[in-house]
Each structure stands twice: as C-alpha cells, then as structure tokens.
Amino acid sequence: MQAQVTAHRSTLSEKEDRALASMLVAYTVTATLWLLFATAIGILLAYKFGAPDFAPGAWLTFGRLRPIHTNATFYGWASLALVGLAYYVAARSSGTRLYSAKLAWIGLVLFNVAAVAGTVALDLGYNDGNLEYREWPWPIRLVFLAALVVTAWNLIGTVARRSTEDIYLSNWYTIGGALWTCIIALVAVLPWYQYGLGQVSVSGYYMHNAVGMWFTPLVLGIFYYALPKVLSRPIYSYALGVFAFWTNLVFYPIIGAHHFLFSPLPWWLQTTAIVFSVAMLVPVWGGSANFLLTMRGRLRDLVHSYPLMFIFVGVIGYLVGSTQGTFEAFRSLQEVWHLTNFTIGHSHLTMYGFVTFAIWGGVYALLPLATGNAPSRLGLSVHFWMALVGSFIYVIALSIGGTIQGLDWINGRPFIQSIQDMQSYWVWRGVGGALMFLSHIVFAWNVWCMSFGRSRAIAPHALSNVEEPAG
Ligand code: HEM
Ligand code: HEM
C-alpha cells in the first residue's frame, strides 16, 4: 500500500496523457490569473489603510473591493488550482484516465463563470450582505455549486475506474472535500436558515467549513501524493493519514461558532465550538507529524528541491496556523483578538502560509511531470524567497499590531488611538504585501514556462527527485 504512490507508472496512452496535461494546464493558468487579479486588489486594499482617500470612486471603495479580494482568492485562485491538481492526482494515483475530460472542462467554465459574475456583481454593489465568503448573489453561488457537483462526480468516477484495489489516501481527502463542500454550499443557499440567529450559526458553519472542509482536505490530499513523489519514498504512516481524515471529519464541522463567541448564540454552542477547536489538535498534529516524519533525515534535500521547500512551508503553515487557531478560540484570548487585525494575520498565515504555499509546491512538483517543462531555478528561488519574506512580514506585523489594537480597546482607550497605533503595522503589511504580489508575477512566469515553454529537462539541481519513478 505505502509503495503505491511511488510505484505507479503512466498507464495512459499518449493521447490520454496529453488530455490530462492540458486539463492541468488550463486549471493552473486560470487560477494564476485569478491570483494576480485578487492580490492586486489586496495591495490596493492594504494601501487604502494608509491613504483612505486614494481611488475614492464607488467601484473602488473598500466595502466593494474587500469581498472581491476574498472571494477571488478563495474561489478563483485556491479552488481552481486545487481542483486541477486533485484531478491530476486522482487519475495518476488510480492509474487511469479521467472519468470525463469533458466534465472537467465544463467544471472549469462553471467555476470561472461564477467567479467573473460574482466579481462584477460585487463591484456593481449587488451582494448578499453580511454573509462572509458568500457575498456573491445566490444565483451565482448556485453556478459555483453546479461546478462542485460536476467536480465531485468526475473525481468519484475517475477513482471508480482505478486499476488498483485500494483507493489511495489522497483521493479520500479530495473526494471527501468535494462532497462535504457540496453539502456546505447547499446549506449556504437554503433560504429558511438565512435569518435571525440561524443565519449567524450558518455563517459560522459556512465560513469555517469553507476553509476546513474544502481547502484543507484538498491540500492534504495533494501533500499525500506530491510529498512521496518529490522524496521518492512512501508516506510515513498510511494509518495515521486515515486516522487524521476521520478525526478531521468528526471535529471540524462543529467548530464554526468560535467565530461568534460572546454573541447571542447559545452559550453551550459556543463552548462546544471551543472544545472541538481544541480537539482539532488531534488531526492537525497527527497530519503534520505524518508529513514531517516522511521528510525525516531528508531535510538537506530542501536546499536542492524548491517544490519540497514550498511543501515544507505549507506543512509548517498548517501546523502553526491551525494551532494558533485553537488558542484563538479560547474566550480569554478572543477577548483580546476578536475583530482585530490579529485575525487578518491568522487568515493569511493559513490561507497563504498553508494553502497557497501548498498549491505552489503541488504545481511545481506535478506540472513539470505533466508537461515535461520545468521552470528555471532562478525563477523558483525568486518566487520562493519573495513570497516567504513578504508573508512573514505581513503576518508578524498584523499579529503584533492586532494585539496592541485589542489591548487598546480592552483598556478603554479612544478608538482613534487604536488606529494611530496600527499605522506603522499597516505600512509594514503594505511592504510585505508588495513582495508577495511581486512573487506572484514571477510565479505566473514560471507557470508560463512549465505550460508553454520550450521543453527543459527536469533539471537535476532543482527537480531531479520529482521525476516519475521507473517503478
Ligand atoms: C499580495 C498578497 C495579499 C495582500 C496584500 C492581501 C491583503 C488583504 C487585505 C488588505 C485584506 C483586508 C483586511 C481587513 O479588512 O482589515 C485582506 C483580507 C483577506 N485576505 Fe488577503 N491579501 C493577499 C493575499 C491573499 C491570499 C493569496 C489569500 C487567500 C488565498 C487571501 C485571503 C484573505 C482573506 C480570507 C481575508 C479576510 C480576512 C478576515 O476577515 O479575517 N489574501 N487581504
Ligand atoms: C484547525 C484549527 C483551527 C482553529 C481552531 C481556528 C480557529 C479560528 C478562530 C477562533 C477564528 C476566529 C477569529 C475571530 O473571529 O476572532 C478563525 C478565523 C479564521 N480562520 Fe481559523 N482556525 C483553524 C484553522 C484554520 C485553517 C486551516 C484555515 C485556512 C485554511 C483557517 C482560516 C481562517 C480564516 C480565513 C479566518 C477568518 C474568518 C473571518 O473572516 O472571520 N483557519 N480561526
């Protein structure tokens, strides 16, 4: 079982191989365009904190641009990139072609139509109000739901055609993630929950499950495939991976109310959310230990393999960000951090330090295998270091600033004082954000080279250890 992921060879015909590669390229390229767009908006938002009167037109107000940034990063960038990788992993680890290439393309169109329509609607001022991460008007969210259903169906169909007896661990995570998200997205549009305290409760449920039952399992699924590939060694413990899968499923769906501590939601529901937030340490530490132990004794390879470096940062982002989340859920700490910029730091530590770095690791490990083209080592290193340093500055600045902000409020200082205290931290966030954005341009260039560039041998110094093992 453990050898499975390193042992399979392409059993596809050349035509099927090409079709799979084109699908991965199409998802990755469109996702990259969304990353560039969404983070250009992110930079503009960041600078508006220092210069609020800059770009004052209605279309460029903070209130419209903020949900455009969050929805475009969630559903344009991260979702598209992860679905492309999930398809590739499903087909490769099952030793078969996609159940339906046509459905994969239909899904791609639906995801993009939803993201474009959602962006335009938000910018024109049409939105579903205070429903975080589901501000798109509901008919548009139905298009996104349709894309999810198509994806789940296609992933299941692909794995059902597998040439092996077992379902490889990655597919548990990616199929689980796609199915759970169909349910979450459905609950999010059903009209009878969307008022009063029910709405608050569903908001917490939706918000946290979007990150915990969609992005997290998809990323973990990619780790379980890409890491053994990059290292040419099996995952440390298959059983631990299965254990983390089930505990994730048991604990995650019930922690959403930690977003609304001290709200009128029943106290027992808030306490339950806190208890399960602590329980989340089990799958988080179990999963992280599994990845780190898979890398044991091979940390020196980090220097030679950028895909591995990106994955390593992603694993650390998962471990540190989620553990931070557990502490953040305690009432005593929520008192300080709730509604402050500390939470924005946590969001970027997790969605950037974990999810985005993991996607980059997956793309750099797998796209060259699909297309035969590798990016230059210079491109990889410039991308890696700019993104790492930029996000480090971003997260540290907001974590310190957010704590000062919370203490100002607790100590009853005038609100304007908390704004003044934040100024320098917002400038640092702008500096970090600029580095992050520049790194995305380099990433886009690297994606171009991997997708359409001249065939470059998968260079021994950068990617030698990700070549498909002869098996
Ligand atoms: C150049 C890179 C980026 C910059 C400069 C940036 C900037 C920002 C800014 C200024 C905000 C609004 C903060 C506030 O309301 O106080 C924000 C919110 C947010 N961004 Fe980004 N961002 C970047 C990349 C990303 C990426 C890649 C993701 C996801 C993959 C992401 C996810 C989010 C989320 C989830 C929020 C809402 C946070 C919350 O409410 O807690 N950002 N970002
Ligand atoms: C599993 C352990 C985790 C726990 C216990 C946890 C806990 C929390 C808590 C308590 C908050 C609310 C902060 C507040 O409103 O004051 C929060 C916010 C957030 N978390 Fe986590 N977190 C975890 C993992 C993650 C992961 C893995 C991601 C991303 C993949 C993530 C993304 C976010 C985002 C985007 C927000 C901002 C939500 C908003 O806009 O209010 N978290 N988290």
- The string of pLDDT tens digits covering residues 380-390 is 999 999 999 99
438 token code pair: 């520049």
Which whole number is the average pLDDT over 391-410? 98
Question: How far, CA to CA in Å, does 303 sit from each of 307, 335, 364, 463, 468?
Answer: 10, 42, 15, 11, 21
Question: Which residue has the CA at smallest separation from atom 33 of ligand 2?
Answer: 347
**Least confidently predicted of 198-202, 233-237, 282-286:** 198-202
Split at pLDDT 50, 70, 90, the class of 459 is: very low
In the prediction, which pLDDT does 461 show? 35
In the prediction, which pLDDT does 33 show? 98
> Is residue 456 within 8 Å of residue 357, measured between CB atoms?
no
Q: Give percent above pLDDT 90 in the chain.
A: 84
In the prediction, which pLDDT does 469 show? 32
318 token code pair: 């998962």
Q: What is the 3-state secondary structure (H, E, C) of 62-94?
A: HHHHHHHHHHHHHHHHHHHHHHHHHHHHHHHHH
Which ligand 2 atom is nearest residue 219's CA?
A: 30
**Cβ of 19 less than 6 Å from ligand 2:** no
**Cβ of 74 less than 6 Å from ligand 2:** no
Split at pLDDT 50, 70, 90, the class of 7 is: very low
> Is residue 90 within 8 Å of residue 144, measured between CB atoms?
no
Nearest to 334 by CA among 268, 394, 277: 277
- The string of pLDDT tens digits covering residues 244-271 is 999 999 999 999 999 999 999 999 999 9
In the prediction, which pLDDT does 442 show? 98
pTM: 0.94
In the prediction, which pLDDT does 23 show? 97
> Is residue 206 within 8 Å of residue 184, measured between CB atoms?
yes
- The string of pLDDT tens digits covering residues 420-451 is 999 999 999 999 999 999 999 999 999 999 99
Split at pLDDT 50, 70, 90, the class of 454 is: confident
In the prediction, which pLDDT does 337 show? 97
- Residue labelled with tokens 């919370």: 406
**Least confidently predicted of 129-138, 181-190, 259-268, 359-368:** 129-138
Which one is predicted more confidently, 337 or 462?
337
Which whole number is the average pLDDT over 138-145? 96
**Cβ of 80 less than 6 Å from ligand 1:** no
**Cβ of 69 less than 6 Å from ligand 1:** yes
Q: How far apart are CA 371 and CA 52, in angstroms?
A: 45
Question: Which residue has the CA at smallest separation from atom 32 of ligand 1?
Answer: 70
**Cβ of 324 less than 6 Å from ligand 2:** no
Which whole number is the average pLDDT over 7-26? 81
Q: How far apart are CA 437 and CA 35, in angstroms?
A: 9
CA 400, 402, 403, 409 torsion: positive or negative? Answer: positive
The ligand placed nearest to the CA atom of residue 66 is 1
In the prediction, which pLDDT does 131 show? 81
Q: How far apart are CA 26 and CA 164, in angstroms?
A: 28
As a whole number, the mean pLDDT across the chain is: 92
The ligand placed nearest to the CA atom of residue 434 is 1
Which one is predicted more confidently, 369 or 466?
369
- The string of pLDDT tens digits covering residues 119-135 is 999 999 999 877 889 99
Question: Which residue has the CA at smallest separation from atom 36 of ligand 1?
Answer: 70
Say which DSSP state 237 is in. -
Residue 86 has pLDDT above 60, yes or no: yes
In the prediction, which pLDDT does 15 show? 84
